Amino acid sequence: MDLPVWQALYEELRDRGLVVITVAMDSGGGDDVRQWIEAAKPTHPSLIDVRHHVAELYDWVNVPSNAWIDEDGRIVRPNDPGFAGEYFRGMMDEGFDFKAMMAEYGRMRDRYLAAVRDWVANGPASRWALSPDVVRARMDGASPDHARATAWFRLGTLLHERGDADGAQRAFAEAKRLRPGSWNYKRQAWALSDAKRDYGTTFGEEVDKIGGSKVYYTPPDLPQAEKKP
């Protein structure tokens, strides 16, 4: 998790009006994420969304996902993966270059945070602030299958909390079937089960199936964010 990065940015820019809210979307609740939140010692709101309400509201299908929201409550940038990238793929492979991974992470982080700083400084005049039409085009919007997938996922989390592991996995399976593009649903179902036993696969294996020419995270369109206009 990148809580320390966001905590540092909040401390840097809060006097200029930036409010950071981090949300852990984890059906395991506090037991699964408490260590990360306590280690970061955030002074901004840091929440846990067990049933993924935030993902539903903002049309998020993966983590991390970011939304920029202006002073009037309007979304300025939806569905940004921030500085997440493809550098993690192959981490378990022999000979993986961790130094190269961290270098790429650092470049993407610095580029993305530069864009946030530009937005805080310039508001709607920032070149990274999107128009309402572009924002709407980037969000899938509601659909009957997505609504049903949400309902099945919520049922799965409820059954999990009540100790019905098999019922929870059946509900998660239906949620994944109805919205196969949601990595959130897949990840949570696997995290709350023996993924190899119950699904014959693991998170890493599923990511590998994407193939080298396709991406796990759609990169934010910030190619020149680190440079001044």
Give yes or no for a contact between 11 and 43, defined as CB atoms under 8 angstroms apart: yes
- Which of helix, strand or coil describes residue 23? strand
User: In the prediction, which pLDDT does 227 show?
Assistant: 44
Q: What's the mean pLDDT in 46-70?
A: 91
Least confident stretch, 74-83, 119-128, 216-225: 216-225
Look at the domain 3-138 and name its fold: Glutaredoxin (3.40.30)
Q: Does 61 have pLDDT greater than 70?
A: yes
Confidence band (pLDDT; 50, 70, 90) for 225? Answer: very low
Average pLDDT score over residue span 81-93: 82
Domain 144-207 carries which CATH code?
A: 1.25.40
For 89: left if phi > 0, alpha if psi spans -120 to 50, otherwise beta; the answer is: beta
Domain ranges of the chain: 3-138, 144-207
Could you tell me which residues come within 8 angstroms of residue 135 by beta carbon, excluding any fewer than 6 positions away?
75, 76, 77, 78
Mean pLDDT of 64-76: 95
In three-state secondary structure terms, 48 is strand
- Inform me whether the pLDDT recorded for 91 exceeds 50: yes
Answer yes or no: are the C-beta atoms of 68 and 80 closer than 8 Å. yes
Task: Say yes or no to pLDDT of 186 above 80.
Answer: yes
pTM: 0.84
In terms of pLDDT, which residue wins out, 13 or 192? 13
Residue 47's SS3 state is strand
The 10s digit of each residue's pLDDT in 93-114 is: 788 888 998 999 999 999 999 9
Cα dihedral value 123, 128, 133, 134, nearest 10: -160
Measure the CA–CA gap between 167 and 156, rounded to whole angstroms: 7
Q: What is the 3-state secondary structure (H, E, C) of 134-152?
A: HHHHHCCCCCHHHHHHHHH
Rg (alpha carbons) of the chain, rounded to whole number? 18
Phi, psi of 48, rounded to the nearest 5 degrees: -125, 120
Strand partners, 66: 80
pLDDT-based confidence at residue 121 (cuts at 50, 70, 90): very high
